[in-house]
Structure formats: C-alpha cells, structure tokens
C-alpha cells in the first residue's frame, strides 16, 4: 500500500497558522497540536511568514526576530509533535468493531433521507449476519481484546426487522460467552417502534443508543414523516421515554434544514425540560446535500446554521444539555475524520457487501463505486477483501492538498466527512465555511477569556 508521502514535506506553516482577526488589526497565531493560540501584531506576522515556511535566512537579523525565534523554540513550535504523522500501517485494519446495516426497509420517509428509503427492501440473510458476527469476534480474539463492538445502523431501520435483530443479539451473546468476550451493542434508530417490550429487550442487550430526532413537533413531523405521510413526533418521544424507563439514556442526533434552523435552541430547551431533566446530549448536523435532499432541492443556509448552533450551545450550557456538531472542532484535534479515511470501518450492507462508510449500504448509493471494498463469500463463509479497492479508499481519504493542507482547520477537521468530499461537492463548500467560522469563533472566545 502506498503511503502519504506529503507528511515528509510538511513545514511549520502546516501546523502553526496565522489567522487574520476581523475586527482588530491583529493576527492569531494558532498551533492546535501544541495547544497554543496567541494574538500577534501584523509586524510579527510579516516576520513569521518566511520563518514558518522554513526560510529563516530570508529574515534580516533583529531583536524582534530573536524574540520570535525564542518564542517558537521554547514552545517547540518548529517541530511537529510526536505521534502526529499519520500511521500508514493502520490502513485497512479493523479494531474489533463492525457496523451492521440489517435492512434497507424503513417505516419513515424523511424528506432528506440519504438512503432514499422506500426504493429497496433488501434485508440481510442470516448467513451474512452470522459470518459478520463471527468475523468481528475472531478479530477480537486474534487481537487479544476483551471486548468487541457491533452497531446496528445504516440505510434502513433495524427495528423494522425486530425478530432478525433479536436473533442476531442472541447469537452475539452466545458467541461472546463462548469466547469470554464482552459485547458492546449500539444502535442508531428512529425510535418510533420502541414499545415498552422492545425497550425492555434493548435494556438487556444495548449499551449505546442514538435516536434520530430532528426537533419540535412541527419540525419533526415535517422532516421525518412515516411512510404514510403521518408525523412521528409523538411516537419518537414515547420511544425515548420507554428507553429511559429501562435505564437507557439515548443521545439525540438532529438533522438541520432551513425549515428547522431557527428552532434549534428551542429544541434544546424542550429536551432539557421534557426529556432529559438530568441532562443529556444532542448532536446537530446540517443536512447533507445527497439522496432525497438533492432530489427535493432542500438547503441549509450555513450562516443561519452557525448562528443558531451557537445559540443552541449557549442554551445547552444553561439547561444542562451538551450540544455538539462534527463542524464544531475546537479542542478536538484528530488524525483522521473517521474510519472511512483509512478504510478501517467494516460496514456490512443488506446485500452482503462491505463498505468503509456507514452511509453506503446499496450498490446504487452515492459513493458505492468507491466505498465498497469487500463482499460476502457464501462458499467460504467469510468476506473477500479487494486490496485494490482498499488502496483507492485510502488514497481518497488522504487530506487533499487543495484546499486542506494549508487550511488552519486541517488538524481539527481532517478534510471532514470523506463521502461528502467525494460525492457531495456543494455540501463540502458549505461545510468549510461552517468549520472555519466555528473554529475561529471558538479560538477568539478562548483568547478573550484570558484578557
Ligand atoms: S464518510 Fe462520512 S458518512 Fe461515512 S462514516 Fe465517515 S463521517 Fe460517516
Ligand atoms: S475540509 Fe475545508 S475546513 Fe476542513 S481542512 Fe479542508 S479546507 Fe479546511
């Protein structure tokens, strides 16, 4: 497998950034990997540009140059901190975790659905499910792990195939017991089918549940109707209540469109008051321009999203709700955005194909031609991995030279969601605006705290 040779050509300007500050005539020196952010004068900025580019000799000797060099040296800013060069050897290797997309069937018809539910009703065969479970357990045993993880998530709603889901869970428990491993089961669900008995059963098996829930009644009912066009707000809240009664506190994942963007803070307040009086977590994401969202020509204005996200976050602090978003990256430096960058995710689709991205679950999905890299082999009872396909995913997953390598958000963002970068171009441009603005505003807030 080819490595990403660009790491060897990095210069300090690729990890120490100079960001112009709008209002004041200052620059912000931002070095996320060194956890440093300070304001510097434009004069200092002029000297720093060639120094950070590795051209110190171009700067005439002066007391100011000595002072800057002293500052850079004492904070080790001219060196990339250890451990931040991407680890090429991890490419394609799993970590005893898989995602199973049991079915493409779904009882909802969300107006922006990336999977365009209602067009494909394939459910995984038992052979595929069993072999996927056996594979992750074997991986855990071979890696000397004590646990393994399976998340049910994908292009449909797993609880639509409840009996099959239960059969999988029983088999997982049995095999985990045989191998002396602890299984961690997770699920992303629309929660509309979580009745009391289903919740009781989930309480016995699941450690982690995320509920897709977009907002107050008018937002949820408009954005996430069922297959007959009826609203789902009441059913979702009942499902969450049922989970809470058996001790599962789900996190909430809300997709934001222009329709609901002004109600984000109200939704946080509602959740704190009515659903999570002891505090909870909500993760907002602006809608991706793909699947049914592209067909319906829906939009999410980046400016409106940002303003309302920040408002919602403020409200969250007051009412005890943690408010997050993958675009809100300050303090979350990372080597890769997700497992799709290095093809380390093993997401088994209902057709028995394996994808590096949990969004790709059908051969007709955006990105299917890139992200599928293995398929079930009914004869051997395993999965045949195509190394060439892995190489292509990894090549696509590398941080793009343009515009990311010199972007001040690069260590926080890492090019953001790989499939958005590959397949949803318009979405990507919007994403960069939101990521850079949110990061800059968080850096300024942090600097102002220390004034
Ligand atoms: S590529 Fe994007 S959608 Fe796919 S798993 Fe990664 S973050 Fe999720
Ligand atoms: S995706 Fe956009 S915000 Fe992220 S590193 Fe690249 S240019 Fe910067």
CATH number at residue 386: 3.20.20.70
Reduced to 3 states (helix: H, G, I; strand: E, B; else coil), residue 93 is coil
Domain limit, last residue, from 356, 375, 390: 390
Say yes or no: CB of residue 416 within 6 Å of ligand 2: yes
pLDDT in tens, 77-106: 999 998 887 665 666 666 899 999 999 999
Residue 398 belongs to a domain: no
Pocket test of ligand 1: the residue of 338, 348, 415 to mutate, having most ligand atoms within 8 Å of its CB, is 338
pLDDT band at 1 (very low <50, low <70, confident <90, very high): very low
Ligand 2: residue of 32, 432, 440, 442 to mutate (most ligand atoms within 8 A of CB) is: 432
CB atoms within 10 A of CB 22: 7
Is residue 338 within 6 Å of ligand 1 at its C-beta?
yes
Whether 333 and 252 map to the same domain: the answer is yes
Peptide bond into 374 cis (omega under 30): no
Residues 6+ apart with CB under 8 A from 281: 251, 252, 321, 322, 324
Would the pTM count as exceeding 0.85?
Answer: yes
Can you read off the two tokens belonging to residue 240?
Answer: 């969450």
Which residue from 435, 437, 439 has its CB within 8 A of the most atoms of ligand 2, so it is best to mutate?
A: 435
Q: Does ligand 2 have an atom closer than 6 angstroms to the CB of 235?
A: no
- Mean pLDDT score across all residues of the chain: 92
- Domain match, 108 and 247 both: yes
Helix (H) or strand (E) holding 183: strand 182-189
Q: What is the pLDDT of residues 62-71, one digit of tens each?
A: 999 999 999 9
371 and 223 share one domain: yes
Taking alpha carbons only, the member of 180, 178, 83, 98 closest to residue 131 is: 98
- How far apart CA 227 and CA 193 sit, in angstroms, is 13
Residue after which a domain boundary falls, among 85, 111, 145: 85
432 close to ligand 2 (CB < 6 Angstrom)? yes
Tokens at 10, concatenated: 């990095």
Same domain, 335 and 348: yes
Q: Does the beta carbon of 359 sit less than 6 angstroms from any atom of ligand 1?
A: yes
From 51, 85, 119, give the residue that closes a domain.
85
Question: What does the pLDDT look like over 302-360, one tens digit per residue?
Answer: 899 999 999 999 999 999 999 999 999 999 999 999 999 999 999 999 999 999 999 99
CB 188 near ligand 1, within 6 Å: no
Ligand nearest the Cα of residue 406 is 2
**414, part of any domain:** no
The CA-atom distances, in angstroms, between 111 and each of 115, 242, 435 are 11, 26, 25
Residue 434 within a domain: no
> At 425, is the pLDDT very low, low, confident or very high (cuts 50, 70, 90)?
confident
More confident residue, 88 or 2: 88
Nearest ligand for residue 337 CA: 1
Are residues 72 and 132 located together in one domain of the fold? no
**Contact partners, residue 301, CB within 8 Å, separation at least 6:** 258, 261
Task: For 114-158, write each residue's pLDDT tens digit.
Answer: 766 667 889 999 999 999 999 999 999 999 999 999 999 978 999
CA of 358 to the centre of ligand 1 (A): 6
Q: Are residues 150 and 165 in the same domain?
A: yes
Q: Which residues contact 68 (CB under 8 A, 6 or more apart)?
A: 44, 47, 48, 51
**Are residue 112 and residue 242 in the same domain, yes or no?**
yes
Domain assignment of residue 403, yes or no: no
Same domain, 49 and 155: no
Residues 224 and 262 grouped into a single domain: yes
What domain range is 35 assigned to?
1-85
Instruction: Please give the tally of structural domains in the chain.
Output: 2
Query: Does 436 map to a domain?
Result: no
Residue 133 covered by a domain: yes
- Whether residues 72 and 105 share a domain: the answer is no
57 and 123, same domain (yes or no): no
Residue pair 256/287 in contact (Cβ under 8 Å)? The answer is yes
Decide if 346 contacts 372 (C-beta within 8 A). no
Judge whether 260 lies within some domain: yes
> Is 11 within the bounds of a domain?
yes
Q: Helix, strand, or coil here: 251?
A: strand
Tokens of 347: 């997401």
pLDDT tens digit string along 252-263?
999 999 999 999
Q: Are residues 205 and 304 in the same domain?
A: yes
């Amino acid at each position: 497998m080819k490595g990403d040779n660009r790491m060897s050509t990095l210069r300090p300007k690729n990890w120490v950034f100079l960001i112009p500050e709008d209002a004041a005539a200052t620059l912000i020196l931002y070095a996320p990997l060194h956890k440093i952010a300070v304001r510097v004068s434009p004069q200092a900025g002029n000297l720093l540009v060639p120094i950070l580019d590795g051209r110190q000799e171009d700067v005439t000797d002066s007391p100011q140059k000595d002072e800057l060099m002293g500052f850079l040296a004492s904070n080790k800013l001219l060196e990339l901190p250890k451990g931040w060069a991407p680890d090429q050897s991890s490419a394609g290797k799993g970590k005893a975790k898989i995602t199973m997309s049991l079915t493409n069937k779904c009882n909802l018809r969300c107006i922006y659905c990336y999977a365009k539910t209602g067009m494909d009703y394939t459910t995984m065969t038992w052979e595929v499910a069993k072999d996927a479970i056996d594979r992750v357990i074997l991986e855990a045993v071979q890696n000397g792990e004590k646990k393994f993880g399976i998340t049910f998530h994908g292009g449909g709603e797993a609880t639509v195939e409840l009996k099959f889901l239960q059969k999988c869970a029983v088999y997982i428990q049995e095999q985990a017991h045989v191998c002396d491993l602890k299984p961690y089961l997770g699920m992303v669900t629309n929660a509309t089918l979580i009745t009391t008995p289903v919740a009781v059963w989930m309480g016995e098996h699941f450690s982690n549940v995320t509920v897709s829930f977009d907002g107050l009644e008018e937002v949820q009912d408009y954005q996430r109707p069922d297959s007959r066009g009826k609203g789902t707000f009441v059913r979702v809240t009942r499902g969450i209540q049922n989970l809470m009664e058996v001790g599962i506190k789900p996190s909430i994942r809300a997709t934001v469109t222009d329709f609901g963007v002004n109600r984000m803070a109200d939704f946080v307040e509602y959740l704190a008051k009515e659903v999570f009086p002891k505090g909870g977590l909500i993760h907002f994401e602006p809608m991706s321009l793909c699947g049914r969202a592209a067909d319906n020509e829906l939009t999410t204005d980046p400016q409106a999203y940002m303003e309302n996200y920040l408002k919602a976050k403020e409200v969250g602090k007051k009412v005890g709700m943690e408010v997050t978003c993958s675009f809100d990256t300050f303090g979350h430096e990372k080597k890769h955005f997700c497992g799709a960058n290095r093809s380390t995710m093993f997401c088994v689709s209902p057709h028995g194909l394996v994808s590096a991205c949990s969004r790709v679950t059908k051969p007709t999905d955006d990105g299917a031609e890139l992200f599928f890299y293995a398929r079930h082999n009914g004869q051997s009872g395993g999965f045949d991995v195509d190394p060439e396909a892995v190489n292509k995913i990894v090549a696509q997953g590398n941080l793009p030279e343009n515009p990311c390598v010199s972007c001040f958000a690069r260590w926080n963002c890492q090019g953001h969601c790989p499939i958005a970068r590959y397949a949803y171009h318009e979405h990507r441009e919007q994403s960069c605006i939101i990521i850079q603005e949110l990061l800059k505003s968080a850096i300024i807030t942090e600097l102002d705290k220390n004034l």
